[in-house]
Structure 1
Amino acid sequence: MRLLPIFLLVVATTLIRLGFAATTGLGVDESYMVTAGRLFSLGYFDHPPASWWLSWGAAHLLGTETPVAVRLPFILLFAVSQILMWRIGCLVADRRAGLWAAIALNLSPVFGVTTGSWVLPDGPLDAALLGAVLCLLHALSSGDQGLRSWSGAGLCAGLALFSKYTAVLPIGGALLYLLTHRRDRRWLARPGPYIAVALASAVFAPVPVWNALHGWASFTFQGDRAAGLRFRPLMPLTTLAGEALFVLPWIWLPMMLLFIRGFRRDAPWQHRLLVWLAAPPIVCFALISAWSSQRILFHWAAPGYLMLFPLLGEAIGGWLDRVWVRALIAGTTALVLVALVVISAQIQFDWLGGSLTEVMRKDPTDQALDWTSLRDDLRARGLLPPGTVAAALNWRDAGKIGYALGPGTTMLCLSQDSRQFGFAYPPRAFAGQEVLLLALEPAEQVSQEAKRWFHGVQVLPNATIRDGRRVLRTVTVLQGEGFHPGR
């Protein structure tokens, strides 16, 4: 009976995510990962392989690329993350703290919605990080060498690095904890931490090998995001505010108070460990935003906030006698569920029609809708015979269009910023072939751009991306002849 609450929570939330995944199309990043990841590789341009392999494996195992199929591994991993979060909360405080930590994790949109169900590196990252934290708690609690727990921490840390490069920040936080905490500094003179580092390095090893063979492309791309020459002293506040919105402000604020409190000398060692794990992602991305020329995405710091949920769960357990706390939890639950239903209903029935354009710069419906109407239109016109090579002018459109056209069509990206498309389907390998060029830009602009790539271009009638009968986007269609990628 003691396991029943967490069991029911995991089952119920997993079923909700399966329903959400089945009724919404893949987003831009998801479509890109599935399309560009159709060709299996030991390394990838944007991120380490874990998430790419998961979506590729699911598509091949289940024989389909439907959204619910490629999202399934990520939904199941979030179920594992909930169990790990619950267990960490139990070790830090008690079972009630663990349960509320898992509940709060579900209610925070950046975790419960995006990480919990989308094809993104964050799903395997969070599960691996939580596994590493659980093993680390056991290792630091052991009176002997604790080599089994240290090994588990190293393997999970390696899997986290194999998922996303930002895993290095909470891993670095573990080192900072060992250096600053008198109770556990003794571990630095024992073999456990070094075994963990060796195992983590071994798991991560294919990533630097792939980078070395491909001009350090992935490392350079991610490293450039911290580069810049301008100074914006107020930008860290904007970054923290954006992160608060992603987490939910009424979850973020008590988290940050608990984060600060965790550094006190009289704080339990488990609390101090968690806040040291949380500090590098939260602090580093806020500081980098002060000078970086790149836009700092608010979800990048999510691994830091992930570490604070056990502390929040413990606090919620002590606040449940307050009416406003119970009302806030109930209201947040209703808000998240209503949001999921509204989004799913819009994608399935287009019940809002074009009214979203009245309150937003553009209708986001097409971003959460699979562009299968484009595939149907082109097939009906005989433009998608077996072996078709298609192309788009940027990686975002290439992802959405390539996913809609299906694995039977090879998708090229004719852009200097082609990302993984440039490695999976290098344009030079298709020199001289006919290519179906599909673009969301006007025909005049696309025709001018096409002259760089083809000896001749035939402008065909436009195609459309539709939600039912409503036209969301118009697609310029050109048949390019004599493809010459070298120019």
Structure 2
Amino acid sequence: MAPMPAQSDTAPKGETGFRNALVLIAAFLALRLLVSWVFPAVIDEAYAIAVSRDWSLSYFDHPPVAFTLARLMAWLTGTESIFIARLPFVIAGAVSGWLVWDITRLAYGRSAAFWALAWYSVAPFFFISAGHFVVPDGPLNLALLATFRLVLPDLLAPRAKLRTGRWLAAGLCFALALASKYQATLFGFSALAFLIASPAHRRLLASPVLWASLAIAMLGLVPTLVWNASHDWISITFQTGRASVGSGTLHPVSFLMIAGSQMAYLLPGTWLVILIASLSGIVWPERTADRLVAWFAIVPPIVFFVIALVSRGSLAHWAMSGFLFGFPLAGRWTANNIDRLRGGILLMFRAACALVPALALIAALQGRYSVAGRIIPDLPADWEFGWELQDWTALAEAWPELGAPPAVIVRNWASGAKAGYALGPAVDVIALSDPRHFRYLETGVPTTAIAVLPSRAGAGDDESKIRSYVKSLKDAGYRPTGTTTVIRQMAGNRTQFELLAIPVEKREPDDVF
């Protein structure tokens, strides 16, 4: 691990702290690659790979970048291996770490930069999810940080002439962010709030360079808008509906759950420092960088705190694109207090360095190999990870014995993602309800299929569950044509979960069950 810097930013022989940052980035990159090698594809990743087999301008859930990256890796390498699909996202997480360091170095100096990178590296959300999984957050974070870094020198010296090339390049990066995830729009609102709130920067609102860069950025919305316009605005309606205000009733429990989850995603101390430092930077800024960073850090959390208070639809990770810009503030606070609180700070950082990667690796090993079940043979089945966090390799192995029909029928998009990823592009996925982007894939008109229903271990032969599923199949126009097969996903000699496989055929309109 890189040596811990003291408070002083005075470095011998022009040392900038780059080597220490590089060591830290490389160490956590290696850890993420290790976890990525072992961790099975989670539902969102399996979904991204499965639905991106049919290229689209945009997708039901998100703008196109993450899905396109997943498909590009499969096309370049000829495999849908989850490790290969994750590589650009893991690399994006590492480059994002470097940008966090470089932004903080420019704003607050090398000691603060090291600690900003340190807290970013051990934050569970940025280590495990945004810096690892095939989800939109990785490309979003990288693009937002690149946008910010390009214009940062001009924003720190507001009286200087704007460097046109940097601003136009920033527009391209912001376009990439807008093509990654809808939350990128909050970055734009953060920028507007800062420009209005800072008297020294208001003149930029009249700059043609700023508006030219914004015009370039808007190109990132074109694929999403074109696709939505031709699909009844379904994606935008879906996403705004998830965060919509209900009857006006307050939901303090939802608010507290979101706050608690954010603490877990960032580590409690980091979360608290970022929020306090952001508010302080807006109300009592000591330098230009304080107000600048604070506005970008605080707007998304405030928006989603309000949504959490008035709605049950909020998710904790929605605000992470704002907390991302709080790491420079956390780095500055740590650099200012490291001499006074050195023992406690180092204890927390070293504990996080050990625990966060270790827990991620344990989860990965448990998901793939059921390590706990091998160590404790009598471990209750309910303690195992379910079908959501494990690969469905048993389904792929059993498919030829099931007749290898051209389609698999599932309840919803989540089980469809796991089945579709396991079975590959030759098998169409038909979801009975909540299909999300599966509804837009070209599936042909298969007359025979296997209906699959996941179940916890030991519950696959539950007659009531089978009857309920058969009824839903009949309601959708399918009739069973054979006996139900119970497929067991094994790890060693332990059953992890079970899959009910029912052969069905599409009935003719005038058929009667």
What is the DSSP-based 3-state SS (H/G/I as helix, E as strand, rest coil) of the residue aligned with 1:436?
A: strand
The 8 Å contact of residues 168 and 213 in structure 2, kept in 1 or not, is answered as yes
**Change beyond 3 A, Cα 1:485–1:449:** farther
How far apart, CA to CA, are the structure 1 residues paired with 2:382 and 2:292?
A: 44
Give 1:162's aligned residue. 179
Query: For each residue in 1:444-483, what CA deviation from the matched residue of structure 2 results, as whole angstroms up to 9, or x when unmatched?
Result: 1221111123353123322122223211222111122125
- Asked if 1:304 is matched to 2:322, the reply is yes
The 8 Å contact of residues 385 and 496 in structure 2, kept in 1 or not, is answered as no
Give 1:383's aligned residue. 403
Moved more, 266-275 or 338-347: 338-347
The 8 Å contact of residues 439 and 477 in structure 1, kept in 2 or not, is answered as yes
TM-score normalised according to structure 1 size: 0.93
What is the DSSP-based 3-state SS (H/G/I as helix, E as strand, rest coil) of the residue aligned with 1:116?
A: coil
- Asked if 1:118 is matched to 2:138, the reply is no
TM-score normalised according to structure 2 size: 0.88
Give 1:462's aligned residue. 486
How far apart, CA to CA, are the structure 1 residues paired with 2:441 and 2:287?
A: 49
Moved more, 388-397 or 122-131: 388-397
Amino acid corresponding to residue 456 of structure 1 in structure 2:
R
**Change beyond 3 A, Cα 1:484–1:150:** farther
Query: For each residue in 1:209-239, what CA deviation from the matched residue of structure 2 results, as whole angstroms up to 9, or x when unmatched?
Result: 1110111011110111222224125243432
Runs of 4+ with deviation above 4 angstroms: 354-362, 483-487
The 8 Å contact of residues 434 and 483 in structure 1, kept in 2 or not, is answered as no
The 8 Å contact of residues 124 and 264 in structure 2, kept in 1 or not, is answered as no
- Asked if 1:205 is matched to 2:205, the reply is no
Give 2:60's aligned residue. 45
**Change beyond 3 A, Cα 1:91–1:484:** farther
Moved more, 448-457 or 214-223: 448-457
- Asked if 1:448 is matched to 2:471, the reply is yes
Give 2:345's aligned residue. 325
How far apart, CA to CA, are the structure 2 residues paired with 1:5 and 1:62?
A: 34
How many residue pairs align between the two structures?
Answer: 479
- Over the aligned positions, Cα root-mean-square deviation in angstroms equals 2.3
Pairs within 5 Å for 1:11-410: 11-141=26-156, 143-227=160-244, 228-234=246-252, 235-292=254-311, 294-321=312-339, 322-353=342-373, 363-379=384-400, 381-384=401-404, 388-410=406-428
Moved more, 448-457 or 476-485: 476-485
Moved more, 294-303 or 173-182: 294-303
Query: For each residue in 1:166-213, what CA deviation from the matched residue of structure 2 results, as whole angstroms up to 9, or x when unmatched?
Result: 111122010010011001111111112211210110122111011101
Unmatched runs of 5 consecutive residues or more in structure 2: 1-14, 456-464
| Paired-residue identity, % | 30
**Change beyond 3 A, Cα 1:433–1:5:** same
How far apart, CA to CA, are the structure 2 residues paired with 1:139 and 1:356?
A: 62
Unmatched runs of 5 consecutive residues or more in structure 1: none
Moved more, 364-373 or 215-224: 364-373
The 8 Å contact of residues 453 and 483 in structure 1, kept in 2 or not, is answered as no
**Change beyond 3 A, Cα 1:422–1:315:** same
How far apart, CA to CA, are the structure 1 residues paired with 2:329 and 2:259?
A: 19
**Change beyond 3 A, Cα 1:473–1:268:** same
Amino acid corresponding to residue 346 of structure 2 in structure 1:
R
State the shift of 1:418 in Å. Answer: 0.7
**Change beyond 3 A, Cα 1:75–1:362:** same
The 8 Å contact of residues 371 and 466 in structure 1, kept in 2 or not, is answered as no
**Change beyond 3 A, Cα 1:357–1:383:** farther
What is the DSSP-based 3-state SS (H/G/I as helix, E as strand, rest coil) of the residue aligned with 1:99?
A: helix
**Change beyond 3 A, Cα 1:483–1:194:** farther
The 8 Å contact of residues 367 and 385 in structure 2, kept in 1 or not, is answered as no
The 8 Å contact of residues 373 and 379 in structure 2, kept in 1 or not, is answered as no
